[in-house]
Amino acid sequence: MIQSPAHSKPLTQAKLGLGFMAISLLVLIASLVYFFHVLQPRLTQEAQDQATLLVNNIAQPLTYYDVLVDEHQTILTTSLLLLYSDENEQPFIKAISLNFNPTLINRPTLFDGQLCDNCFIVSLPLFDNQTAELLAEAKFWVNPVNHQRLINDLREKLLITLSLILLLLAGFWILLKHLLQQLINSQQHNQSILNSIEDILFMINSNGTVIDQNPIAATIVTKKTFVLADLVQTLHGQPLDIITDSKLNHPIEIRYKQGKYQGEIGLMTISKMQPSGLQPQDQFIVLIKNIQALRSAQAELKHQTELAHLSRLRTLGEMASGIAHEVKQPLAVIRLGAEGLKGLHQQAWSDDSRQFALELDQTIIEQVDRADRIVRNIRSFARLEQAAAQWIKVPDVIESALGFVKQAYHLDKIKLIENIDYNQPRLFMEYHKLEQVIVNLVANAKDAIEEKSANTPPKDYQAWIKLNLYQQSNQVILEVEDNGCGMTLEQKQKCLTPFYTTKDAEKGVGIGLAIVKNIADLYDAKLTITSNIGEGTCFRLSFNCPTNLTTDDALA
């Protein structure tokens, strides 16, 4: 099973820590060995050579026979040599020993100065600078203070260098640890994403045998070894081995044959993995997504769409009397015009008759267009399919929506009050959706008025419905207000819930206001409700303005 690499984190960091300590210790030992076994002996030898060279230069006064043969001169010369010092006022020679050649100078060995344990000893034969005869064997004890100072300086530099190297190694270790932590975190993040996928993920070979799976798949299939064909079957008749051989990457629908999803529908995609040296044969990634919930949601959406369509048809049924009156009026005008033309055709034409005939012709054309608009509005409102969103003028939509109900509401003695600001920005939305919002809100207001009218004497109650359109800040406000029965707090909280209604079953299914809420959410409009029992209700829709342009220049 695909597992998280979290367990490897402590082990990996421990290995890197040991490696860092080993490298640091190796660098330290190598530096110390180089200093004490290579550098320091070499420096000591160089110091010895420099001391010998310097002694050769300053011991020249002892190469005279006259000086060595005279004891007083010899002591004076050695004393001067012992006083010779460097720039730090340290005596260069600490002691001098002269062993005279008895054949030339018959004197005992001369020693002057103070011996020291760590002095450089330089042995030097003294030859007469004139006769080149050996006068004496001399030993010089050279002060090692300069050499020791150099060694100390080198040790300090070595410690500083080692400290810098250790700091660099520590910085490298911190950087490496940080990079390792990032790598582990990235692996854990990727693994957590993989493990949190609710879809089934398999790795199969070319024979269809499952060789690995994610934790979700492990909870569905408990068998350790199985082939993919044991779990799923395709819905369109393609055998799984053919699909694998063809290496298709497009999804295909399948049905689960076992496990907790047995009988449900899924969407499967098979992708070939990139070849590597670790896999001896072709391997495939199989991703199966359970779409049973999606299918159910689609069915529910279709059901709600059909109910919304039924709601529109019910509204049209309620509008039938007003629509019939609206269509009857232009048809009556057309009939009168046609009868007038018939009478004219039976008489001799005059200029006045010809003008009257032209006016009748124009009246007939206008009334036919009016009837055509009414029919087209009815067909558009009653249709089921969606249309594309467009820049629309809200006043035009209000006029179209009220055109369905004006006459019917007039007959029911309901006063329609329009407070419309025509200088409003256009809104980008589907024309008939906004029209449906207005029609549903107006129909809901009419129902509230009818409920109040049933309990109120006609002389004491003038029913009205107000439509207000105005701009507030950067929003277009559309209000539908009535003086109907109003709503209780519970009714106001539940009225937008699908299928909630206080009406009789034959008057509605409680989906009109739910449709208004869904359309408002679709276009990011805020819907607020203000209502008082016995006083009325106001539905307020606030649309965000996409631009500051008005309806007349929004598309310029």
pLDDT per residue over 517-556, tens digit each? 888 888 889 999 999 998 899 999 999 886 545 545 444 4
CA distances from 412 to 310, 465, 531 (A): 24, 12, 23
Which helix or strand (DSSP H or E) is residue 112 part of? Answer: strand 110-113
Q: Tell me the C-alpha distance between 74 and 222, whole Å.
A: 109
Q: Mean pLDDT, to the nearest integer, of 243-272? A: 71
Dihedral angle over CA of 207, 209, 214, 217, nearest 10 = 120
Q: Tell me the C-alpha distance between 61 and 95, whole Å.
A: 16
At 555 the pLDDT is 45
CA angle, 461 as apex, 455 and 465 as ends, to 5°? 105
pLDDT higher than 70, residue 286: yes
Q: Which residues contact 298 (CB under 8 A, 6 or more apart)?
A: none
Q: Mean pLDDT, to the nearest integer, of 115-133? A: 84
pLDDT higher than 60, residue 321: no
At 86 the pLDDT is 64
Which helix or strand (DSSP H or E) is residue 318 part of? Answer: helix 292-318
- Residue 113 tokens read as 């100065």
Say what the pTM is. 0.40
Confidence of residue 4 (pLDDT cuts 50, 70, 90): very low
Residue with tokens 């980008």: 428
Contact between residue 465 and residue 554 where contact means Cβ atoms under 8 Å apart: no
Q: Mean pLDDT, to the nearest integer, of 246-273? A: 73
Q: Tell me the C-alpha distance between 47 and 51, whole Å.
A: 6
Confidence of residue 283 (pLDDT cuts 50, 70, 90): confident
At 121 the pLDDT is 84
Burial grade of 165 (CB within 10 A; 0-12, 13-18, 19 or more)? middle
First CA to last CA across the chain, in angstroms? Answer: 62
Contact between residue 280 and residue 307 where contact means Cβ atoms under 8 Å apart: no
At 477 the pLDDT is 93
Q: What is the DSSP string of 164-177?
A: HHHHHHHHHHHHHH
Q: What is the DSSP string of 324-363?
A: HHHHHHHHHHHHHHHHHHHHHHTS---HHHHHHHHHHHHH
Confidence of residue 444 (pLDDT cuts 50, 70, 90): confident
Closest CA to 211 of 223, 203, 199, 200: 203
Higher confidence at residue 358 or residue 5?
358
Q: Tell me the C-alpha distance between 503 and 440, whole Å.
A: 15
At 469 the pLDDT is 93
CB atoms within 10 A of CB 418: 13
Burial grade of 15 (CB within 10 A; 0-12, 13-18, 19 or more)? exposed
Confidence of residue 408 (pLDDT cuts 50, 70, 90): confident
Confidence of residue 371 (pLDDT cuts 50, 70, 90): low
Read off the amino acid at residue 203. Answer: M
Higher confidence at residue 247 or residue 76?
76
Which helix or strand (DSSP H or E) is residue 539 part of? Answer: strand 536-544
At 431 the pLDDT is 85
pLDDT higher than 60, residue 11: no
Closest CA to 439 of 306, 323, 528: 323
CB atoms within 10 A of CB 416: 15
pLDDT per residue over 409-441, tens digit each? 887 888 899 999 888 889 998 888 888 888 889
At 358 the pLDDT is 66
Q: Tell me the C-alpha distance between 335 and 332, whole Å.
A: 5
CA angle, 140 as apex, 136 and 142 as ends, to 5°? 165
Confidence of residue 256 (pLDDT cuts 50, 70, 90): confident
CB atoms within 10 A of CB 337: 19
Domains delineated in the chain: 12-151 (no CATH), 199-297 (3.30.450.20), 388-555 (3.30.565.10)
Distance of CA 290 to the CA centre of its chain: 26
Read off the amino acid at residue 361. Answer: D
CA angle, 325 as apex, 323 and 328 as ends, to 5°? 110
Residue with tokens 């690995």: 212
Contact between residue 255 and residue 266 where contact means Cβ atoms under 8 Å apart: yes
At 384 the pLDDT is 44
At 464 the pLDDT is 92
